[in-house]
Amino acid sequence: MLNQSELDRVFHALSDPARRGMVERLARGPATVSELAEPLPMSLPAVVQHLQVLEASGLVRSEKVGRVRTCRIEPEALRSAERWIGQRRASWERRLDRLGTFLAESEATAKPRSEK
């Protein structure tokens, strides 16, 4: 599980469409920096800057072999962010379920069914 400032960095990294595009590309497999840059309408230095934000967040890691830097997804950071959101969503849904049960029971008490 990530701590607060790690979660800050992961969600901040995901708050930009170019960076989400890079994560989307890397989810399909490793890519070089030029491959990541290719579909993006921006300069290579801008791509590298986005990549640095992704690496600082722990969502991506990269490795340089010779002159080529290859980037990969780090699934654990992705999973942690998903888990954080999922737990809040689940907590909200449980509350809604309890509310539904409460309302159904109140209704049953208020008007006892005629049959049986």
- Residues found near a copy of itself in the complex (CB under 8 A): 4-5, 7-9, 11-12, 14-17, 20, 23-24, 26-29, 73, 75, 78-79, 81-82, 84-86, 88-89, 91-93, 95
To a copy of itself, the closest distance from the beta carbon of 84 in angstroms equals 7
Residue 57 CB: number of other CB atoms within 10 A? 23
Nearer to a copy of itself, 24 or 108 (CB): 24
Q: Among 52, 71, 57, which Cα is nearest to 3's?
A: 57
- Taking the C-alpha atoms of residue 98 and residue 58, their distance in angstroms, rounded to an integer, is 37
What is the amino acid identity at position 75? Answer: P
SS3 (DSSP) at 10: helix
Nearer to a copy of itself, 8 or 38 (CB): 8
Nearer to a copy of itself, 15 or 34 (CB): 15
Nearer to a copy of itself, 17 or 45 (CB): 17
To a copy of itself, the closest distance from the beta carbon of 20 in angstroms equals 7
To a copy of itself, the closest distance from the beta carbon of 113 in angstroms equals 30
- Taking the C-alpha atoms of residue 96 and residue 5, their distance in angstroms, rounded to an integer, is 30
Residue 70 CB: number of other CB atoms within 10 A? 15
